[in-house]
Amino acid sequence: MITNVLDWLDASAGRLPDKIAFGDEHTTLTFSQLRELARRGGSYLCRRVQPRQPVAVFMEKTPECLAAFFAAVSAGCFYVPLDTKMPAERIKLIFDTLHPAFVFCDEKNAEAARAVAGQAGCEVFSAACMTEPDEAALAAVRADHVDTDLLYVLFTSGSTGVPKGVTISHRGIVDWADWLHGTLGVDENCTLGNQAPFVFDNSTLDIYSTLRSGCTTWIIPKKCFSFHKTMMRFLREHAIDTIFFVPSALIAAANSGILEKDPPTGLKNIFFCGEVMPNRQLNMWRRAVPGARYCNMYGPTEITDVCAYYIVDRQFGDDDPLPIGRACANTRILILDEEDKPVGPGQTGELCVMGTCLSLGYYNNPVQTEKAFVQNPLNSAFHERMYRTGDLARYNERGEIMFLGRRDFQIKHQGCYRIELGEIETALLAVEGVANGCCLFDEAKDEIVCVYTGGAEEHDLAKALAEKLPGYMMPNRYVHLDRLPMTINDKIDRVTLRREHIG
């Protein structure tokens, strides 16, 4: 029985010591090197912190940063990745909640890390790794471990701007990586190309498939997401056959025209999660790489990345919405109406999740935890936790789950029309000449505001939308931008858009 992700690291390092576990354009770490660094860094920490304390990691996105995560875990602690580009103000907000016991940094960020560390100890990770492994201390920590111990805490932005720390246990990740192996067949023969920042839970697919199954993950340099020719070269040079990207990254590649010129035909698995994937751009990918398997995954950070998936198995028109499919194994999804009753076919409700995948709540935040993690309203016999995602969904005629949008994106327009902004967005993204975009609602003016990029002229866009949408769903205002602001997770940054275009 696997109860600790380090059991996988030990096994993979034993079986495949010299295989590259993680690499980027500059460095690589084999499984045995990764394990050695984790044990050295862990031994250093054992003398300075107690098990089950938070260790913040303030490092660039490198293989070494992953070694620092596993060093924290080797000391029985949980890691908290921080984005090095995050403003000091925001880190301060996070630290006020987290109270880290220690901060690992790299040379480049040492000064900034020391400035924010406060009472916590702070050390450059490579310096900590000068410590010889302390077998007795590491073994004692392992013996005391249970699988509900926290593995990591990821701070989400939260729509209010106040970061919430989502806690995830070893158990949640063991379940997730086992599912990836068992259902999607991510195994030792896969070579993964990582896009997701480590502060974003999508990265756990790459990190923990690698640990669990002994595959290799190559961190794709950020510049490749703007220069797609470079991306194609990187994918080819490293024989990458599996990617798990946020849809915006796939959309940008499709819009760049690279798929026709230089299709990444080496890709066997094209997985995506995090936002709606429009079928227009998905169809471009499907035409360019017809042999690949495409999988739309859905899930918030609070349920260990993914709780529903749909392997694309049929043709879709450019303006059809793509299902998010069915619950992953060992996961239960309920769609509940406003009275907390399961919805009937075709009815809309809130998507709620139960199972091992659930977070243990928001770190040091009982108020928000109680709001989101509630008793299953269909069970009054015993304590059964359920996570309310805040997302709206319905079943289609095939019994597949269709994502409709955030509950807060459901608007009341002209006093009577209940509209999912997501439905307008699906129509928008299918329009020729629209590269990407979204819709916002200006409550004060009762206006639907359509923000988009691409070459489409406003009146052509309005004409195209009028062919697909009823009048009451038509945007009242259009904002054309050269670039959309993106969050650190590379999703469209709606908070910034609201501030700049609605006020």
Chain residues in the site for ligand AMP (CB under 6 A): 156, 201, 273-276, 296-298, 300-301, 324, 389, 391, 403, 406, 489
User: What is the C-alpha radius of gyration for the chain, rounded to an integer number of angstroms?
Assistant: 23
> Cα 365 to chain center, whole Å?
21
Residues forming beta bridges with residue 391, ordered by sequence position: 406
Q: Phi first, then psi: what are they for 319, rounded to 5°? A: -105, 15
Instruction: Output the DSSP codes for 67-92.
Output: HHHHHHHHTT-EEEE--TTS-HHHHH
Tokens of 9: 């690291």
Crossing angle of helices 458-466 and 421-429, in 10° steps, is 110
Nearer to ligand AMP, 110 or 246 (CB): 246
CA distance 355 to 294: 25
**Residue 414 C-beta: closest distance to ligand AMP, Å:** 25
Nearer to ligand AMP, 129 or 324 (CB): 324
Strand-strand pairing, 447-453 and 477-480: parallel
**Residue 56 C-beta: closest distance to ligand AMP, Å:** 20
CA distance 171 to 386: 17
**Residue 286 C-beta: closest distance to ligand AMP, Å:** 16
Closest CA to 105 of 92, 118, 114: 114
Distance (Å) of CA 74 to CA 16, 132, 208: 20, 14, 15
Nearer to ligand AMP, 369 or 389 (CB): 389
Tokens of 330: 């060992």
CA distance 452 to 458: 10
Nearer to ligand AMP, 100 or 405 (CB): 405
Residue for token digits 């720390």? 165
CA distance 270 to 264: 11
Nearer to ligand AMP, 32 or 283 (CB): 283
**Residue 428 C-beta: closest distance to ligand AMP, Å:** 15
Which 3 state secondary structure label does DSSP give 288? helix
**Residue 177 C-beta: closest distance to ligand AMP, Å:** 17
Nearer to ligand AMP, 129 or 243 (CB): 243
**Residue 59 C-beta: closest distance to ligand AMP, Å:** 21
**Residue 237 C-beta: closest distance to ligand AMP, Å:** 29
Nearer to ligand AMP, 177 or 324 (CB): 324
Nearer to ligand AMP, 175 or 201 (CB): 201
**Residue 326 C-beta: closest distance to ligand AMP, Å:** 13
Nearer to ligand AMP, 4 or 296 (CB): 296
CA distance 278 to 280: 5
Closest CA to 173 of 218, 203, 143: 203
> Cα 276 to chain center, whole Å?
13
**Residue 322 C-beta: closest distance to ligand AMP, Å:** 8
